[in-house]
A and B are shown apart, each in its own frame.
Chain A
Amino acid sequence: EAGVAQSPRYKIIEKRQSVAFWCNPISGHATLYWYQQILGQGPKLLIQFQNNGVVDDSQLPKDRFSAERLKGVDSTLKIQPAKLEDSAVYLCASSLNPGLGQETQYFGPGTRLLVL
């Protein structure tokens, strides 16, 4: 079975520019997550979707970050405008349905963002 796909793998931008990341979850997975992993730290959950609805976005900096999953399948995460401290790896993960005890999240390879 195909895993979680993410693109691009790497992105370098200047501060104040915009950037978008794309994620395609494992087929049939209802839940999709975006994480930010700063160097030397564990991943931090930014936003969780259940199908096309947002379940939790409490740690998403909404003044500059946005995410959507319009058709309940793939998702995009956008940063506008980017700051130096946004330099990190952005990980996408998916799971079948946490509410049914199918808790395991499967992660994509990540997008490494460098803001100069």
Chain B
Amino acid sequence: AQSVAQPEDQVNVAEGNPLTVKCTYSVSGNPYLFWYVQYPNRGLQFLLKYITGDNLVKGSYGFEAEFNKSQTSFHLKKPSALVSDSALYFCAVRDTNDMRFGAGTRLTVKP
């Protein structure tokens, strides 16, 4: 069965600095990988996904993620963080019918 790990519970960055939220995965076949963001009292919002093709995936709100097959990673990145990016971020992997989410990483961007 597939699994996904987000090794950091919390990431703190200063506004304007680059940010990285880490994700590693384990799956038997070809992975379908996703990033979602959750704001307080809101449902999960889709940011981006990797299905196939270019390893660098661009998504909503200036976020991007790089698929690295050898390291089984799919880290979320943004060149310049905004205070409004502060939220809970979830990485997810899909294999056949099952979608597995990581435990989430809370990103705090300070002015």
A residues with a Cβ closer than 8 A to B are: 4, 33, 40-45, 48, 55-56, 58, 91, 93, 98, 101, 103-110
Contacts and interface: CB of A to CB of B under 8 A. Distances in A.
Given A101-B51, A103-B94, A107-B43, A42 B102 contact: yes
A107 B45 contact: yes
Interface of B: 32, 34, 36, 41-46, 49, 51, 90, 92, 94, 97-104
Contact of B49 (A55, A103, A110): A103
Given A103-B32, A103-B94, A45 B45 contact: no
Contact of B101 (A40, A44, A110): A44
Q: Please report whether the interface of chain A is mostly helix, strand, loop or mixed according to DSSP.
A: loop
A10 B94 CA distance: 29
A4 B43 contact: yes
A105 B103 contact: no
| Nearest 9 Cβ contacts at the A-B interface | A42-B101, A107-B43, A107-B44, A56-B97, A109-B43, A43-B101, A42-B103, A108-B43, A42-B102
A44 B100 CA distance: 7
